[in-house]
Structure formats: C-alpha cells, structure tokens
C-alpha cells in the first residue's frame, strides 16, 4: 500500500490503492482499514466541524438542490411550525431532513419496569413518605404536589384524569358486585286453570245416628253422599322461586403482566 504525506498545517495521508484518506495533526500515518476518511487528533483535543447550513424546513432540501440520502449538516436557522427546524445536527434520508436528538428523562416521567429498587433518579411509587427521599428528589416531589407521600400504585392501572378527579388520586376498584338495580326489570306471573271445580267425598253415618235418622232423602243417613263444589270457586297460588347466589364480587381486570411503576425525580448533585 503506497501512502503519501502532504506538508500542511495537518497531515493528509492518502492511500491511493484503496482511496482512503487520513487527516490528522500527528505523525501517525496509520489509516483505519475500515474507514474511507479517517480523522485523528494527536492530543485528543480537536473535533470535526460539520458544514453549517441554513435550512428552511424539514421537507425542503434548500440550500441543497435536492435531497441526498446520508447527508449530514449542522442547521443554524430557527423556523417555527410543524415542519420547522431548530439549531441542531440534521441528516437527510433522501426525502426530508431529520433532527438528531437524544432522549432525556423529564421530571415527572413514569415508566414500567421489572426492577424493584430506585435507580438513577427513578423512584418506585409504593406510597412511601416524602421525608424518606433524598433532598433533591424530595423537593421535586413536593413541587409536583406530593405533599406527604408518593402515590401507591400497587395493583393499579394508569389513566388520564377526569374533570372531577384530583391529580395523584387513586380511583375505582378492581371488582364490582351486582345489585338488584343492575338487573333488568323482570316480572314473573302465572295463572292457574279457570276451571277450579272438584269433588270431596265424605261419610256421615256414624253408628250413633243410624238408629235415629234414616231415609234416602236424609243426607246425614246417606253413607254414599257426595257434594260438588261450584265452578266459581277459583283460587290463586303464590310461587316463590329462590335465585341462589352468594353475592360474590366480579373481578373485571384484564389479563396482564405485572410490573413496577417508577417516577423520575432527578438525580442527586
């Protein structure tokens, strides 16, 4: 591999065989074999300055003539709006500019985790007293309205508050019991047969009356007499139907995976 060094304020090392270039302020001419362009600082005290452009919005390639996939620039302009831009590093994906950002935790952020202990500014929401928190975390918690204790989110779901609910309040239940007011208004009725006539047979000739009463026209002496009730003797029946049940509450929690919930209150200085 042939390498050439050019006497500049820095060293420009070119590998013509592989079209590799190294720019450095040191005398080390070794080029990383995986790099097409290798930048190096002898004392590790210099950086790479990106070209500074003034972008108009994320959808326009301007000041370039067209979108170029992989292009990286530093934008110096501030443009408001949905498609606006702010001073930052942007890269182009071939159709638009995309801002390079880092995700940072914000005070009050919540997260689910399988962890069980406080870590790097994240505190388990287990109802503990505010007084047990470190100084900075305690101050942040108080500013958020936690005056005495952190919320206890054990066995609870997160939801947006309603107009009538207070922030940080625990609301609702995990189960409910059905009461009569929750059931449809149903009436059970029935009618017995309108023909209620029937017969009753009885004997009315005890030994003490046979000797004193006789004759076929005497019902007392007639030991085979039967009387028939009239058809107007209809009547009603009251029916009682036990419903059973034990008034057990109904659990309506959906199938889920249990985790712990943490709040970010910041790290200690």
> Would the pTM count as exceeding 0.85?
no
Neighbours of 253 (CB within 10 A): 9
Amino acid 7: pLDDT: 45
- Is the pLDDT at 216 greater than 60? The verdict is no
3-state DSSP call for residue 182?
Answer: helix
To the nearest whole number, what is the mean pLDDT of the chain? 81
Amino acid 6: pLDDT: 46
- Is the pLDDT at 214 greater than 60? The verdict is no
Q: How confident is the model at residue 202 (pLDDT cuts 50, 70, 90)?
A: low
- 181 DSSP assignment: G
pLDDT in tens, 172-186: 888 888 887 887 887
* Distances 111 to 7, 102, 135, 266 between C-alpha atoms, Å: 56, 18, 22, 14
Amino acid 128: pLDDT: 96
Distance of CA 265 to the CA centre of its chain: 21
Determine what percent of the chain is predicted with pLDDT higher than 90: 39
Average pLDDT of the residues in 229-234:
56
Average pLDDT of the residues in 45-64:
94
Average pLDDT of the residues in 202-209:
54
Amino acid 115: pLDDT: 94
Amino acid 174: pLDDT: 81
């Amino acid at each position: 591999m042939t390498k050439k060094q050019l006497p500049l304020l820095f060293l420009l090392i070119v590998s013509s065989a592989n079209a590799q270039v190294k720019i450095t302020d040191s005398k080390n001419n070794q080029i990383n074999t995986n790099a097409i362009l290798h930048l190096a600082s002898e004392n590790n005290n210099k950086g790479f300055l990106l070209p500074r452009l003034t972008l108009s919005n994320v959808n326009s390639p301007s000041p370039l003539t067209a979108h170029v996939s992989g292009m990286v620039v530093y934008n110096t302009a501030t443009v408001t709006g949905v498609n606006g831009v702010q001073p930052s590093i942007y890269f182009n994906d071939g159709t638009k500019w995309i801002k390079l950002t880092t995700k940072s935790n914000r005070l009050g952020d919540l997260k689910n985790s399988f962890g069980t202990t406080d870590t790097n500014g994240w505190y388990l929401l287990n109802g503990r007293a505010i007084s047990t928190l470190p100084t900075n975390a305690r101050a942040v918690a108080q500013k958020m309205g936690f005056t005495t204790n952190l919320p206890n989110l054990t066995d609870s779901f997160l939801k947006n508050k309603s107009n009538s609910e207070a922030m940080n309040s625990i609301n609702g239940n995990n189960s409910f019991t059905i009461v009569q007011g929750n059931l449809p208004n149903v009436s059970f009725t029935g009618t017995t047969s309108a023909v209620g006539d029937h017969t009753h047979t009885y004997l009315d000739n005890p030994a003490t009356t046979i000797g004193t009463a006789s004759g076929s026209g005497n019902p007392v002496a007639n030991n085979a007499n039967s009387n028939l009730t009239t058809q107007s003797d209809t009547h009603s029946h009251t029916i009682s139907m036990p419903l059973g049940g034990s008034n057990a509450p109904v659990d309506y929690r959906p199938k889920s995976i249990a985790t712990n919930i943490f709040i970010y209150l910041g790290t200690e200085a």
